[in-house]
Chain A
Amino acid sequence: MRRIRSMLLAASAAALLAAASPAPASAAGSMVVTYKDDVSTLDPAIGYDWQNWSMIKSLFDGLMDYKPGTTELTPDLAESYEISPDGTQYTFKLRQGAKFHNGRELTAEDVKYSIERVVNPKTQSPGAGFFGSIKGWEEVSGGQSETLSGITVVDPRTVRFDLSRPDATFLHVMAINFSFPVPKEEVDRLGADFGKSPVGNGAFKLAEWTLGQRVVFERNPDYWKQGLPKLDRIEFQIGQEPTVALLRLQRGEVDILGDGIPPARFLEVKNDPANEGLIVEGGQLHTGYVTMNVKTPPFDNVKVRQAVNMAINKDRIVKIINNRAVPANQPLPPSMPGYDKNYKGYAYDPEGAKKLLAEAGHPNGFETELYANNTDPNPRIAQAIQQDLAAIGIKANLKTLAQSAVIQAGGEGSAPMIWSGGMAWIADFPDPSNFYGPILGCGGAVQGGWNWAWYCNEELDKMAAEADALTDPAKKAEREEAWRKIFIRIMEDAPWAPVFNEQRFTMHAPRVQGDEALFVDPVHIPVHYDDVSVAQ
């Protein structure tokens, strides 16, 4: 949830000068990126916030990665991989020549050690849950064991994972930060301070860190990927207000706005012809929605939930946030595999909504509570929703609280309605299953879970498990179709009212160059640090 800095709070970065000639691969240089908040840690087992997520991706590599600018998986530290026909065994062959920054070559032991470290409760990692399908996970996460029985070091360059169930998302899990190998000797040496002096094997290494002011990366000269990184040095300046950062970018002192274009300046910046070509727009794996607690009346009645879906004027809400989003009609965002382009959803229809309410036995509406995060723009969006609900007779009292308190209320089931903005949900990896299990599946509908609608449909859980058992890459389309069905079925039950999907607007200085897709990379946000370059 920490990673959920919504783009509205912080749109994102860079762009390219109107098709400037591509920089030669050898071109080197330095780039300045600004962030407002501190970078907390660069330990891949722990880092889970807006700033450090992509920084860690440049300091460390994983077994898998995505082709820059896309959501297409590709082997990275793994040279090749094999999946057993039943989908429960994944074997990775490691690449030769990938070295840690301390000069030691990566081995299969490192892969095993690093994942066990994340799952071990002593590490207090927010990523432990991603590895739940590996055999022996319960024992390690429960503290009874320190080694995962499901990870076997076959030889120094081969590692095998045995899963307790077929898991089609496992390759994505091997691309997520928490799975990135770390060198045991350095973790032992540095202890809890590993996150402040990380030793990785990525394109960059840490050169300097002045707490609260500056983090500097420099090129890893021994990096195994030819021609990468394209920059010699990246300086991250911390404590920079987005408004100030924008002015400095216009003055040429800053290359990329880590927190994006400040919302309040967005219209002015976007409408200024001088910025043409500097702002790149792209989708992101985010949906903002209203949850309705299906366990408590009146939201236990599907007609009431459908009425709420029809009552919300999504176009107006998108306008309120200056059109920096697109209206949503289903849980999945458009750039997510499995999104149904043909689904129309519930159209805005207050009269129809009133009729449904009357049919549900509430001709005069009812009173309820709508929880929301208290950071701008969420109280405003909640007020807009409140007005729409009032129009069909639902009197929703607002509870705007700190995110920790809203998350608590959602996890306890004490919140009838929650506006998710500022807290949920941005996908951790580009796969539809990540939009189901924790937030719409039965597994998340538990005390302390994130399924704030408490929606639990055993049949859909079964369908989801079947979809995730389709591990054969050849069955990708079939799997996407299965997920599409699941999400459309969910919309029939309407535990959520999806409101919008945020768009990313990345602004960069003219001298920063690279393929346009690098600036709206769905995984590396705000930009793919390894692949962009600067004009000399």
Chain B
Amino acid sequence: MVDAVVEPFLQMNGVGKWFGNLQVLHDVTFSVKKSEKIVVCGPSGSGKSTMIRCINRLEKHQMGQIHVNGIELTDQKKNIDRVRQEVGMVFQNFNLYPHLTILENCTIAPRWVKGIGRKEAEDIALRFLERVRIPEKAHFYPSQLSGGQQQRVAIARSLCMNPKVMLFDEPTSALDPELVREVLETMAQLAADGMTMICVTHEMGFARQVADRVIFMDEGKIVEVASPDEFFDDPKESRTRRFLKQILY
């Protein structure tokens, strides 16, 4: 028997996207293996958010192919639903449901998407709330929590759907500085547990410590892909060096 080629878990191939006449993604090609941790960085407007939002079809790409766990993302609703079950996402502004308690935020999708019973869904939710270390807030409302706590709830809410890959879209950008650490620690723990992760973030310490690869984007293109050590200590591209000079104070 021939050795099975390790299929990448996620693959983007020549992906292009336009907002009206403006091309925001140019020929984006990369793949992610299972358990790999990718950090995506780049100046604002470089297309990094748009790129990861294409992975669960919050944005529609107009060129190229995206495969998640062997499923190609097309207009087919069935495929989109399947991919969304595999992919969890955490947003810059948390996007918790303000009118639901923390527990209800975590159980709504398991109950209505997967049809899990209320009791079981609550058990699952409490387990993940414990994992992000806020089980005691289960019956609070999002507005009663700090930003860092809300973001950890958002992570737990995603995990309740048992995703195989987690997307983070600038998860700490809306947080007060003293709340960033607790969220990054939760993410690092998730990484240590073997979760496949794609993180758009400017937390360079996190990137260095957790990432397997760093992808640098500018003007909708992937400029450089490198290991964190290479990326920070010996970047190949002058555009990357300029960017690092600007953000590292």
The answer to whether A and B assemble together is no
Could you tell me which B residues sit within 8 Å of A by CB distance?
none
